[in-house]
Amino acid sequence: MRVVILGSGRGSNAEAVLLAQQAGRLGGARVVAVFSDVADAPILKLGPRFGVPSGFVDPSPFRTKLDGEGEARFIAAVSGAGPDLVVLAGFMRVLKPAFLGAFAGRIINLHPSLLPSFPGLDAIGQALRRGVRITGCTVHHVTAEVDGGPIIDQAAVRIEAGETLESLEAKVHAAEHALLPEVIARLSGARPPG
Catalytic residues: 111
* Cα(188)–Cα(107) distance, integer angstroms: 13
CB 155 within 8 A of CB 13: no
CB 99 within 8 A of CB 82: no
Which value, in Å, is the radius of gyration of the alpha carbons in the chain?
16
CB 135 within 8 A of CB 126: no
Task: Please enumerate in sequence order all residues whose Cβ is within 8 A of that of 15, keeping only pairs 6 or more positions apart, or say none.
Answer: 46
* Cα(182)–Cα(18) distance, integer angstroms: 12
CB 152 within 8 A of CB 184: no
Amino acid in the structure at residue 33: A
* Cα(154)–Cα(180) distance, integer angstroms: 9
- Helix and strand numbers (H, E) in the chain are 6, 9
